[in-house]
Amino acid sequence: MSKLYQIRYLRTAETDLIGIFEYIQKDNPSAAVKQLEIFDKSISQLSKNPYLGAIPKDDRLKRLGYRILIIDKYLVFYVVKTNTVQIRRVIHGARQYIYI
């Protein structure tokens, strides 16, 4: 049986998800709920396969141990620490992420 990692959302990632939900909800409430379900399903895969996401091209993020999971138009930035996957940011792919 393979080891399971705990998924932990940092406050910044929670704030990002709330912002995404509220933005989508203004035009389409059901789409907002569906997007959160997609995030949940995709991110939960990290508990079994924490290295699923890509290594970023940005040298700074690479040195800090970040990985990026792409979900639809969004980028989920996370770091694997011991038995935990820390979800640090969730941003739209069109945004600049150099200051994450």
Q: What is the pLDDT along the chain (100 residues), one digit of tens a residue?
A: 578 999 999 999 999 999 999 999 999 999 999 999 999 999 999 999 999 999 999 999 999 999 999 999 999 999 999 999 999 999 987 766 655 5
Compute the half-sphere exposure of residue 46: CA atoms within 13 Å on the CB side of its CA.
29
36 in a structural domain: yes
User: What is the pTM for the complete model shown?
Assistant: 0.91
1 in a structural domain: no
pLDDT at 3: 86
Considering only the C-alpha atoms of the chain, give the largest distance between any 2 of them, rounded to a whole number of Å: 44
Based on the structure, what is the number of domains in the chain?
1
The enclosing domain of 77 has a CATH number of 3.30.2310.20
97 in a structural domain: no
84 in a structural domain: yes
Range of the domain at 44: 6-92
Structure tokens that stand for 43 in this block: 């991110």
pLDDT at 94: 72
pLDDT at 18: 97
66 in a structural domain: yes
pLDDT at 43: 98
Length of the chain: 100
Question: 87 — phi, psi (to 5°)?
Answer: -85, 115
28 in a structural domain: yes
47 in a structural domain: yes
54 in a structural domain: yes
